[in-house]
Structure 1
Amino acid sequence: MKKGIIVVSVLLLVLVLLLQFVWTAPKNVTTQASFKVSAAAANRLLGDTAIWQKIQTTTATPNAVDMKPVMAGMGQVVLRVKHEALDTLSQILLVELGKDSVILNWETPLPASNWFWQHWQQRNHAATLQAAQQHLATQLKAYLENTQQAYGFNIVKGQMTDSIVVTKSFETASRPDLPMIYAQLAELEKFASANGAGFTNPPMLFVQTDGQSYRTQVALPVNKWLPEHPVYKTKRMVLGNNLTAEVTGGQQQIRACFAAMYQHVADYNRIMPGIPYEMLLNNRLSTDSSKWQTRVYFPIME
C-alpha cells in the first residue's frame, strides 16, 4: 500500500514538473539597449543589410544565428532570424529619448509548441537567441555611436575659433583649377600682409554650382579687421558650434565627406546658419592629390 502511494506520488510530481516545464516555456526573447544616436540615424543604419553582415562577419554571433533586416522605417526594424530549424521574424522598436538618444526594444517571438521535445527545443532557441541579441545589441551600439563607422569619417562637434576672415568671391564657367584658386589666395595674402594682418589658420575654400557656372569663395583667417576694399571683403564669423571632419585624399574623398556630414546634419535635424567649407591643411599645388589634407567645417545651431 505504502509502495503504491509512493509510486503515485512520484508520478504526480513528475507530471507537475512536466506541466510546469510546458507552461513556463518561453514565448519570446526580449533585449533592451540604449544608444547615443538620433532616432533617424538608428532607423536608417539598422535597416542597412551591409551593416548587419559586417557586424556578424567581424564579430561572430553566438551559435551561428543569422539575422538580416527585411523592413525598416517609422521607428521599427523587422529582421529575419534563422537558427538551425528556426526561421522567424524579429522586431526592433526604437523609442526616441531626445535629439541624440534612443532606446532599442528588441523582441523575437518563438513558435508555439505542443510536445515535450518541442518545448525543449524552444528553451534552447530562447537561450541561443538571447545571447545572440545581447551580443549584437552591444556590437550595434559600438558601431552606431562611432561616427567613423556609421558615416565613414570621424565627425567631431566643436566651436568656431576664427572670428575674422578676409574673403574674395569669383565666378567661372567650369570648376576652378588649383592654380586659379591659389592665385586668388595669393592676392588675399598680399592684401592682408600689406595692411599688417597676421594669419591665424590655413586657407578656406567653398565651391558651389547651379549647373551652369561655379561660384567660388576663398578666405584667409586673420587677426585684425582690414580696411574696406571693392574686391576683398573682411567678415566677422559667428563663434558658434560646428562639426568638423578631416580627410586625406582628393576631390572624391572630399565630396564623400561633405555627403556624410550633410547626412549627419539631416539625421540630427540640425540647422546650418552658414555655408560649409574646406580648410586646406597643406599646399595642394605641391602635393599629390592622394596626400591632400583637408578639414571640412559645417556651422551648426543646437
Structure 2
Amino acid sequence: MKKTILTIALVLILVVAALFTYFPAQQPFEYSLKLALPAKALQRSLQEQSLHPVAKAAGPQEVVLRPGFYDGFLLSIATTDSQSQNSPLKLIPLGTDSTIVYLNGVVRGGNDPLARIATWKRTQVVKEKAKAWLQNLQQMEQPEQLYGFKVNVGQVPDSVMVTKRFTSPAYPTTKQIYGQVALLQQYVTSAGAQATNPPMLFVQETCSGYEAQVALPTNRLLPGKADISYRRMVVKGNILWAELRGGQATVEEGIRQLGNYVLDHGHISPAIPFASLVTDRTREADTTRWVTRIYYPIY
C-alpha cells in the first residue's frame, strides 16, 4: 500500500515538475519576416493603418495595428473574448529596398499548473495570428498595393516643348486649361512645327490661388515668343510614369504617390512632375473615362 502511495506521489511530482518545466508562467515568442520593399514605404503605410486601426481577420481572432513609441507600432492580438496581447513591432531597414519586420513579446499568466497550460494555449494563438498577419504584409511588395497603381520606370518621352504659365484664383477649369493649350497649338502651327504628344499640365496652389503651366511637346525646338517659352528635357533621362483613369483628384493623388515612390527609393527629382492629358477633356464630360499619364523625372 505504501509503495502504491509513494509511486502515485512520485508520478504526481514528476507531472507537476514537467508542467513547471515545459509550461512556464511567462512564455516569450518572436517572429520576423523579410520584405522586398523600402523601410520608408512600409513605415508610412503602417502609420496610416495604425492611425485608423481596423481589425483584420487572421483566423478566428482579430489583429489590430496601433501606434507605438518612437515611430514604432504595437500589434494587438485578441486571444480570448476579453484578453489581448500587445507586442512591439519593429522595422529594420536592409539597404534601400528591403526591410525586416520583427515582432516579439512575452505572454504572461499565473503560476499554478492550469494557468500555465492556459498561458501556453494563448501563446500558440498569438504565434499563429501574428504569423498570418505578418505574412499578409507580403502583398505590399507589389507597387499596386502600396501606391495604388503600377509604377513604370522609363525614359523621358519628349526632349523639346513649348510652355505657358497662367494663374487662377480657383483651381483652373477645363475650359481655362484648354484655352491656354489652344494658344500653344496656334503658335506651334504658325511656326511650321507639329505637336508630337498630348498636352501636359502642372498645377500648384499658391498663397493667392493657383499657378498652372501647360506644355506641348514638339517635333523640333522653337524659340518661343512673349509669354510662350521653350524647354529642353534631358535626352534619355530617367522618369517614372503611370497611366490613370479618373478625374483631377485621381491625378493629384497619383502624383503624390509617385512623390512617395521617389522618397522611398532614394531618388532625386530634377524637374517638376506633370500630367499628360491623353483624353481630350473638352470632348469627354465623364471624368471616370479620362485617361491621364503622370510623369515624374528622377535621377
Q: TM-score range by the shorter chain?
A: 0.7 to 0.9
Distance (whole Å) between structure 1 residues aligned to residue 67 and residue 200 of structure 2: 42
Please name the residue that 2:54 is paired with. 53
Q: Is the 2:90–2:102 contact (alpha carbons within 8 Å) kept by the matching residues of 1?
A: yes
Please name the residue that 1:41 is paired with. 41
Structure 1 residues 284-293 or 259-268, which shifts more? 259-268
Q: Is the 1:153–1:260 contact (alpha carbons within 8 Å) kept by the matching residues of 2?
A: no
Distance (whole Å) between structure 2 residues aligned to residue 272 and residue 72 of structure 1: 32
TM-superposed CA distance for 1:269, in Å, is 5.1
Which of 139, 154, 165 aligns to 2:136? It is 139
Please name the residue that 2:117 is paired with. 120
Distance (whole Å) between structure 1 residues aligned to residue 148 and residue 259 of structure 2: 13
TM-superposed CA distance for 1:166, in Å, is 2.1
Distance (whole Å) between structure 2 residues aligned to residue 280 and residue 149 of structure 1: 25
The code of the aligned residue for 2:17 comes to L
Superimposed CA distance per residue, residues 266-297 of structure 1 (whole angstroms, 9 cap, x where no aligned partner): 44554321111111010000112232221222
What percentage of aligned pairs have identical amino acids? 29
Distance (whole Å) between structure 2 residues aligned to residue 228 and residue 46 of structure 1: 48
Please name the residue that 1:106 is paired with. 103
Unpaired runs of at least 5, structure 1: none
What does residue range 116-265 of structure 1 map to in structure 2 within 5 Å? 116-142=113-139, 144-238=140-234, 239-265=236-262
Distance (whole Å) between structure 2 residues aligned to residue 265 and residue 72 of structure 1: 26
Distance 1:150 1:228, change over 3 A: closer
Distance (whole Å) between structure 1 residues aligned to residue 72 and residue 221 of structure 2: 53
Distance (whole Å) between structure 2 residues aligned to residue 15 and residue 244 of structure 1: 70
TM-score by length of 2: 0.83
TM-superposed CA distance for 1:213, in Å, is 4.2
Distance (whole Å) between structure 2 residues aligned to residue 149 and residue 42 of structure 1: 11
Which of 272, 277, 280 aligns to 2:277? It is 280
Which of 14, 22, 25 aligns to 1:24? It is 22
Which of 92, 95, 99 aligns to 1:95? It is 92
Unpaired runs of at least 5, structure 2: none
TM-superposed CA distance for 1:155, in Å, is 3.7
Q: Is the 1:248–1:291 contact (alpha carbons within 8 Å) kept by the matching residues of 2?
A: yes
Q: Is the 2:68–2:88 contact (alpha carbons within 8 Å) kept by the matching residues of 1?
A: no
Q: Is the 1:147–1:154 contact (alpha carbons within 8 Å) kept by the matching residues of 2?
A: yes
Q: Secondary structure at the match of 1:200?
A: coil
TM-score by length of 1: 0.82
Distance 1:97 1:19, change over 3 A: same
Please name the residue that 1:82 is paired with. 78
Distance (whole Å) between structure 2 residues aligned to residue 51 and residue 22 of structure 1: 41
Q: Is the 2:193–2:219 contact (alpha carbons within 8 Å) kept by the matching residues of 1?
A: yes
Distance 1:102 1:51, change over 3 A: farther
The code of the aligned residue for 2:65 comes to P
Distance (whole Å) between structure 1 residues aligned to residue 251 and residue 103 of structure 2: 37
Q: Secondary structure at the match of 1:187?
A: helix
Q: Is the 1:52–1:67 contact (alpha carbons within 8 Å) kept by the matching residues of 2?
A: no
Structure 1 residues 18-27 or 96-105, which shifts more? 18-27
Distance (whole Å) between structure 2 residues aligned to residue 19 and residue 62 of structure 1: 33
Q: Is the 2:51–2:67 contact (alpha carbons within 8 Å) kept by the matching residues of 1?
A: no
Q: Secondary structure at the match of 2:207?
A: coil
Aligned length: 293
Question: Cα RMSD between the aligned structures?
Answer: 3.0
